[in-house]
């Protein structure tokens, strides 16, 4: 990851927006906040997915029924209450999982609706990017941008949504270029969050090295 989660003043409501391209997104966020933040964190999750994977409730997820306008509004009011009580609420404003390279990012208006009801909120943009390289498993990296402050009530729901949509899309594009530019997998400004085991190619190379040593020892 690069950047800092603890940017917003403790007395300001905090809304964290992130792109959504994988089922793993929420679990990776959970691993990050365990070591990088002192706040209580909550995440809005589609009700259908919550019913299938109820364990997400144990790590701060709460449901939203997007098919019912009244229930959606109730979930957004609940999110605003969590923010006012000092919690950080994570929102995937795209509203569903989309391909990582899908452009433009298209936000649903729920984020603007939420900011109308929590007008002193600070918004923190977070991008998550996956890539495949020399290793067996994908590499995932977080980039945390600078917090966004605005007069949300004056801006209005639609304009706020468009502003945040553009900001996250720009950040995700910069994040993508940083990943592409790193030929050896080490990215400037990023620090490791989770250690990983050896991948298949690393295990194979290690076995070859040991075999070569034994052959040398026995003179073969």
The answer to whether residues 142 and 2 touch, using CB atoms and an 8 Å cutoff, is: yes
Determine how many CB atoms are found less than 10 A away from the CB of residue 116.
17
78-82, 87-91, 132-136, 154-158: range with lowest mean pLDDT: 132-136
Query: Where do we find the tokens 């364990």?
Result: 55
The 10 Å CB-count burial string (b at 16+, else e) for 172-209 is beebbebbeebeeeebeebeeeeeeeeeeeeeeeeeee
> What pLDDT, on the 0 to 100 scale, is given for residue 30?
94
Please give the biggest Cα pair distance in the chain.
81
Say how far apart CA 168 and CA 138 lie, in whole Å. Answer: 22
Query: What are the tokens at 122?
Result: 């600070």
Q: What is the pLDDT of residues 191-220, one digit of tens each?
A: 988 876 677 777 777 777 665 555 565 565
The model's confidence at residue 52, banded by pLDDT at 50, 70 and 90, is: confident
- For residues 165 and 180, give the distance between their C-alpha atoms in angstroms, rounded to a whole number: 23
Angstrom distance (rounded) from CA 50 to CA 64: 9
Is residue 152 exposed (0-12), middle (13-18) or buried (19+ Cβ within 10 Å)?
Answer: buried
Backbone conformation region of residue 145, classed left if phi is above 0, alpha if psi is from -120 to 50, else beta: beta
């Amino acid at each position: 990851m690069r950047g800092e989660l603890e940017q917003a003043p403790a007395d300001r409501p905090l809304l964290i927006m992130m792109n959504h391209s994988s089922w793993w997104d929420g679990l990776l966020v959970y691993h990050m906040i365990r070591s990088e933040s002192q706040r209580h964190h909550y995440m809005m999750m589609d009700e259908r997915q919550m019913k299938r994977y109820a364990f997400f409730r144990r790590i701060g997820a709460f449901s939203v029924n997007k098919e019912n306008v009244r229930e959606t509004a109730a979930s957004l009011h609940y999110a605003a209450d969590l923010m006012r009580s000092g919690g950080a609420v994570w929102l995937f404003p795209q509203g569903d999982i989309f391909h990582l390279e899908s452009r433009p990012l298209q936000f649903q208006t729920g984020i603007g609706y939420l900011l109308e009801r929590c007008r002193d909120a600070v918004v923190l943009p977070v991008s998550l990017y996956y890539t495949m390289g020399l290793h067996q498993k994908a590499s995932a990296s977080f980039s945390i941008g600078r917090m966004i402050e605005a007069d949300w009530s004056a801006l209005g729901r639609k304009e706020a949504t468009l502003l945040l949509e553009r900001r996250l899309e720009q950040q995700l594009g910069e994040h993508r270029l940083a990943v592409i530019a790193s030929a050896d997998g080490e990215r400037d400004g990023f620090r490791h969050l989770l250690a990983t085991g050896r991948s298949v190619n690393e295990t194979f190379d290690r076995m070859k090295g040991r075999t070569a040593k034994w052959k040398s020892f026995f003179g073969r």
